[in-house]
Amino acid sequence: MISIVGILIVFGAILAGFLMEKGPLLVLMQPSEFIIIGGAGLGTLIAANQVHVLKGVASSMALVLKGSKFSKQRYLDSLRMMFSLFNKARKEGLVGIEGDVEEPGKSPVFSKYPAFMKDHHVQQFVCDTMRMAITGGATAFDVDRMMELDLEVHHVGATNPSTALTTMADALPGIGIVAAVLGIVIAMSSLGGPPEEIGKKVAAALVGTFLGILLCYGVVGPLAASMSKLVDDEQAYYHVLRVVMLSFIKGMSPILAVEMARRAIPQHVRPSFQEVEKACRRKDEPVAVAAAA
């Protein structure tokens, strides 16, 4: 939501300054320029990307409106969930969590955390990794390499939407120039007519350049940057899960594995040692807040 607030500030500042200079606001209302620039920009986005990337752009735009889902509470819930899983494995052996990993929907550990259950990519990442630890035959190095490969593939797919939107943003100034040139062609064809009519056509042509640059640097570019930061937040979350699972697989106790992972959490959402210890040590495990999903 804060990205939308920023864009509104951009438009508000530009329009306020234009009005302060006694600029006629109606001059900026050029529907034909909007159609040329908006339609051509959308066309470049479609032409340059596959269908799954376009779907990713749409879903990522929805996430930009909601903001990052990886809050301090989400990290606390995740560390607590992994602590419970590891404690069960320590008491019953790795075979004891086989049912949790194979059918997470029926797991008494995982089912208490709606945010984890709703995020199928995270669910698969955790369950597939622990499945390798249960089956045996794979060293900690092998499991870590598997997680690294998984994260690399996921990161490439997650960054495609923001890259696609950045490509569109880069094309918008050029499209604005095309719209301006078309407007000048129309104005030149009207030479010999009333001067005020020619002036209006030239003004409309210049609005095309203005719109292309504004949409590039004031709307599409910032949205692409915001999407990229959301991907970084997601990647940081996956890294924390990687650390906690690898630490346990290497033989650390559940609480030490959780503390190792806590140190990998980004500073602005990192819970304190006392907060994590209190959450992990509680016997009653309330359902995680669904809003943290």
- Assess whether pLDDT exceeds 70 at residue 288: no
Residue whose entry in the numeric block shows the structure tokens 């060293």: 139
Q: What is the mean pLDDT of residues 45-72?
A: 90
- Residue 231 in tokens: 């991907």
pLDDT at position 283: 63
Average pLDDT, the chain: 89
Q: Look at residue 23 in the predicted model and tell me its pLDDT.
A: 86
For residues 12-21, average pLDDT: 91
Q: Given pLDDT bands bounded at 50, 70 and 90, which one contains residue 54?
A: very high
Cβ(198)–Cβ(187) below 8 Å? yes
Predicted local distance difference test score (pLDDT) of residue 72: 94
Residue 292: pLDDT band (50, 70, 90) is: very low
Among 31-35, 53-57, 89-93, 191-195, name the one with the lowest average pLDDT: 191-195
The confidence score (pLDDT) of residue 39 equals 94
Provide the token pair at 5.
């607030």
- Rounded CA separation 189/177 (Å): 18
Q: 234-287 pLDDT, tens per residue?
A: 999 999 999 999 999 999 999 999 999 999 999 999 999 999 999 988 764 444
Quote the pLDDT of residue 29.
87
Q: Average pLDDT, stretch 62-70? A: 86
175 has pLDDT over 60 = yes
153 CA to centre of own chain: 16
Which stretch of 1-15, 41-55, 217-231, 238-252 has the lowest confidence by average pLDDT? 1-15
How far apart are the C-alpha atoms of 158 and 151, rounded to whole Å? 10
The C-alpha atoms of residue 95 and residue 89 are separated, in whole angstroms, by 7
CB 72 within 8 A of CB 80: no
**End-to-end Cα, the chain, rounded Å:** 16
Is residue 202 within 8 A of residue 183, CB to CB? The reply is yes
Cβ atoms 198, 186 nearer than 8 A? no
- pLDDT band, very low/low/confident/very high, at 130 (cuts 50, 70, 90): very high
Please give the pLDDT value at position 127.
Answer: 94
- pLDDT tens, 140-152? 999 999 999 999 9
pLDDT band at 231 (very low <50, low <70, confident <90, very high): very high
**pLDDT value for 242:** 96
DSSP conformation letters of 71-108: -HHHHHHHHHHHHHHHHHHHHH-GGGGHHHHH-GGG-T
* 72 vs 195 pLDDT, higher one: 72
What pLDDT is recorded for position 163? 93
The residue length of the chain stands at: 293
